[in-house]
Amino acid sequence: MPQSTSPIAEPQIAAVRGFNRLYTRIIGTLREGLLNSEYSLSEARVLYELATRQESTAREIARDLELDAGYLSRILRKFEGAGLLSRKASADDGRQSILKLTRQGKTAFSELDQRSNDEAQHLLKRLSVKQRTELLQGMRSIENAMDAKPSCAPYILRQHRPGDMGWVVHRHGVIYTQELGWTPDFEAVVARIVADFIDNFDPKRERCWIAERDGEIAGSVFLVQHPEKEDTAKLRLLLVESSARGLGLGKALVDECTHFARAAGYKKITLWTHDVLTAARHIYTQAGYKLVEQEPRHSFGIDVISETWDLTL
């Protein structure tokens, strides 16, 4: 960032300090636990970095957050003691450990992430539309002025929230029409799947994951109970936006389904797809799915081969 050579007036310094006091009071950083949680601001930032990176080391997190290595080490030991964090030796550098959140750690992050969203929503609800626009424009101006760098994390995965289902239906309709030429009856099928998920949602046995990248939804997937087989789950509606492809997002979404299905006690996951969806088929193959059935048919305005793939857990 270029530095100004002009002197800084006292009122300008006072204005910055006044803004800092207001901001820290609003977001509650002076409270013992951020967002009424058990985590400090620093701990929450470390938790965020662990949740939004595929792999990371303590050295990388300390560097990117500009944290003292000893302080970070204490935070990581706390997380490990609470069952939130696991370590494995790095294949590239035996002195370093690869850090990953456990399932318990991912749950802790998801809860904290939801509280953060709720807090932001509460703040914005107090403002008029005009005030919201001015606030967001001011935030962007601050980011640009301070040369804020985007997070190095390519995406985050979270559970669904109100409004997400509309996005799923809309983007399936748009993307499959633009990229494959499918007719609107496919969007109707997606809408029925989504409606059935909401109407019969069992959080112990079913899940929707929404992927976000730079604050925008970038993908989704569903895992639901098979209607006729209690020990079988169905993977449905895997979607990745074109702008987020190549980041491993599709694989991450499918892996989440596998981990959840095992924890929920399923013995098998099955899915239905089409031969033209080559990228998705590649992901399923990598995840261990086996093609068990094919059937030529005319669907959504084109001739395709529908396929059933199974994964034994």
Give the number of residues written for the chain. Answer: 313
Residue 299 bridge partners (DSSP): 302
Q: Does domain 10-145 have CATH number 1.10.10.10?
A: yes
Q: How far is CA 138 from the centre of its chain?
A: 26
Give the relative orientation of helices 41-51 and 69-81 as an angle to the nearest 10 degrees: 70
Helices 278-286 and 249-264: crossing angle, nearest 10°?
50
Q: Residues near 168 by Cβ (< 8 Å), separated by ≥ 6?
A: 190, 194, 220, 237, 239
Q: Write out the two tokens for 38.
A: 């058990």
Q: Identify residue 58 by its one-letter amino acid code.
A: A
pLDDT of residue 139: 74
Q: What is the pLDDT of residue 93?
A: 64
Strand 85-89 with 232-240, pairing: unpaired
pLDDT band at 173 (very low <50, low <70, confident <90, very high): very high
Question: What mean pLDDT value characterizes the chain?
Answer: 85
Is residue 253 a contact partner of residue 221, using CB atoms and an 8 Å limit? yes
Choice between 38 and 288, residue whose per-residue pLDDT is larger: 288
- pLDDT digits 0-9 by tens, 17-52: 777 777 766 665 545 445 566 778 788 888 888 888
Question: Looking at per-residue confidence, does 93 or 192 come out higher?
Answer: 192
Name residues whose C-beta falls within 8 Å of residue 175's C-beta, 6 or more positions apart in sequence.
Answer: 239, 241, 242
Q: What is the pLDDT of residue 26?
A: 67
Q: Of the ranges 122-126, 179-183, 221-225, 283-287, which one carries the lowest mean pLDDT score?
A: 122-126
Please state the rounded mean pLDDT for residues 73-80.
90
Q: Do domains 10-145 and 156-312 have the same CATH topology?
A: no
| Residue 186 pLDDT level (bands cut at 50, 70, 90) | very high
Segment 127-140, tens digit of pLDDT: 887 787 777 777 76
pLDDT at site 1 = 41
Amino acid at 270: T
pLDDT greater at residue 222 or residue 214:
222
Averaged pLDDT for residues 188-213 = 94
* pLDDT (mean) for 92-113: 83
From its phi and psi, is residue 184 left (phi > 0), alpha (psi between -120 and 50) or beta? alpha
pLDDT reported for residue 35:
54
Domain ranges of the chain: 10-145, 156-312
Instruction: Report the percent of the chain where pLDDT is more than 90.
Output: 40
CA distance 269 to 135: 46
Which tens digit of pLDDT belongs to each residue from 233-260? 999 999 999 888 888 899 999 999 999 9
* Structure-model confidence comparison of residues 74 and 149, the more confident one: 74
At 1-12, the pLDDT tens digits run: 444 455 677 777
The stretch 83-92 carries a mean pLDDT of 82
Instruction: Choose among 155, 174, 164: nearest CA to 253.
Output: 155
Q: Which CATH entry fits the domain spanning 156-312: 3.40.630.30, 3.40.630.10, 3.30.950.10, 3.30.750.24?
A: 3.40.630.30
Query: pLDDT band for position 284 (50/70/90)?
Result: very high
pLDDT at 2: 45
